[in-house]
Amino acid sequence: MSEAAKTAPGTITPQFNLPDPVTHREIKIDTFSIHDILDENNNCPVKLGNLQHLIHCQADLHMAKSVDDQARLKDLLKSRANTLRGFVLHGDTAGPLAYLVYYPMIDSKGSRVAYCEDFYIAESYRGHGAAKILFHELAKRTLADNFEYIQWATDSRNTPVHNFVQNKLGAKRPDVVTISANGLLGEKDNLLSQWAGKEYVTRPLRGNDVNLPEKLGLSPNIIRHTGDLDFKGFVTFEKGKPTVPVAITPGWIHLSTFQLKEGLHLEQPVFMANANKDGLMINEEGIVASIIDASKKFSTLKQLEYFRWHILGSASAMKTLLQDRLGLQRDSMLKGQPDTELIVYTLSNGALKKLSENEPDRTLRIPVSAPIGVRTTHVPAPPAQPGPSNDNS
């Protein structure tokens, strides 16, 4: 008996199989480094204008100002080619959809750290695996470069990012706050002169200062492993005693991708313990005054346009001096807004190893019903500041 004869009466045997309905768009992801983008002889599908567009989107998301100057962006990136790192995620059918920029810094213990200046994923592609690819790539690259951990700062209003980095990445918040120290570059001279006390001399750390950090309990790697950094921080001596440091202040040159400016960034100073074996007694006010004076001169020499300082958030001499005595405020993306600040995060070496071991799927699968190119979320605006009262009672 034929197969046709076995078919139940009244049924129709299909002659071909209909394809399943298309429910998802598949986007294959490639990664291109910042250096690929800057190489004009490289046939890179990501152009500098694409990167600048992503930076503008990130700034707009935070309601922050960004500078539209592609030539300036190119000059800044090229001038820091020996230290600047970063990459763009490119979708085969979507184009550039995410970026991340980072570079070396030195923390208050003298560790070589990767500072993540900025990362952004176009909103249409969030929640579909792009973040896993972005941070897997970052973990692989930073471990290969022997960074001890990653640090970055996030706007306090950005709740989705806070939830993601803590719950998905395992990021931790150290006891560190970022102080906007711009006012120290011009004003405060009279007050600082009152702090001087003993005469101190502060200068930038040099490559031949390799034996100085250990005298304050810091690793000599602050010198040995930072040959690619032109600026590593400051060392302070009591005048006339240039072989015994009384403080070392690690530092680095910060790059603002929004404002296309460079600024001075200092870490918490490491002070010599009072009454050490050499019989030196230190005056922390005088040392800080000397560091600030050196910072002003260095910023003028290097044409740096802003000044930030990481200090311990708990009770400390620096908190007392900078916040309580000088009245400096915590830094924020929106200047002059007391309800916003930059929250510092770190991603440990162990967390980086875990991220690097789990190879993500490099194909994004996005439902066809999902909006593409439509903004759906914003970082919330800070609370409105109260205006003058009309109540005359």
Please, what sign has the CA dihedral across residues 336, 340, 346, 351? negative
What is the pLDDT, as a whole number, of residue 8?
Answer: 56
Among 155, 360, 184, 160, CA closest to 266? 184
Which amino acid type is present at position 325? Answer: R
Q: Give the residue numbers spanning the domain of 226.
A: 182-327
359 and 319, same domain (yes or no): no
| Conformation bin of residue 296: beta by default, left when phi > 0, alpha when psi is -120 to 50 | alpha
119 and 186, same domain (yes or no): no
What is the pLDDT, as a whole number, of residue 375?
Answer: 46
191 and 89, same domain (yes or no): no
Q: For the stretch 80-114, what's the b/e string if a residue is b when 16 or more beta carbons lie within 10 angstroms of its beta carbon?
A: beebbbbbbbbbeebebbbbbbbbbbbbbbbbbbb
What is the pLDDT, as a whole number, of residue 192?
Answer: 62
For 294-342, how does the pLDDT look when each residue is reduced to its tens digit (9 = 90+)?
Answer: 999 999 999 999 999 999 887 677 888 888 888 888 888 765 555 678 8
What is the pLDDT, as a whole number, of residue 377?
Answer: 47
78 and 120, same domain (yes or no): yes
160 and 30, same domain (yes or no): yes
Instruction: Judge whether 381 lies within some domain.
Output: no
CATH for 48: 3.40.630.30
Mark which of 327, 358, 379 sits at the end of a domain: 327
108 and 192, same domain (yes or no): no
What is the pLDDT, as a whole number, of residue 284?
Answer: 84
43 and 89, same domain (yes or no): yes
What is the pLDDT, as a whole number, of residue 111?
Answer: 86
Q: Which stretches of the chain drop beneath a pLDDT of 50?
A: 1-2, 4-5, 275-279, 374-379, 381-393
d(CA 101, CA 118): 5
223 and 301, same domain (yes or no): yes
Instruction: Judge whether 155 lies within some domain.
Output: yes
Q: Which residues pair with 91 in a beta bridge?
A: 29, 95
Please give the full DSSP string across 203-254, using - where no structure is assigned. EE--TT-TTTGGGGT--THHHHT-TT-S--EEEEEETT-TTSEEEEEEEEEE
Tokens of 360: 């993500």
CA distances from 14 to 1, 7, 135 (A): 19, 12, 48
For 17-27, how does the pLDDT look when each residue is reduced to its tens digit (9 = 90+)?
Answer: 555 566 778 99
124 and 200, same domain (yes or no): no
232 and 147, same domain (yes or no): no
What is the pLDDT, as a whole number, of residue 387?
Answer: 46
Instruction: Judge whether 386 lies within some domain.
Output: no
232 and 306, same domain (yes or no): yes
Alpha-helical runs (H) found in 274-318: 284-302, 317-318
Instruction: Judge whether 19 lies within some domain.
Output: no
CB atoms within 10 A of CB 68: 11
Mark which of 295, 327, 359 sits at the end of a domain: 327
Strand segments, DSSP code E, in 6-111 are: 24-33, 85-91, 95-106
Instruction: Judge whether 337 lies within some domain.
Output: no
Instruction: Judge whether 6 lies within some domain.
Output: no
Instruction: Judge whether 139 lies within some domain.
Output: yes
161 and 188, same domain (yes or no): no
Task: Name the domain count of the chain.
Answer: 2
Tokens of 380: 């919330």
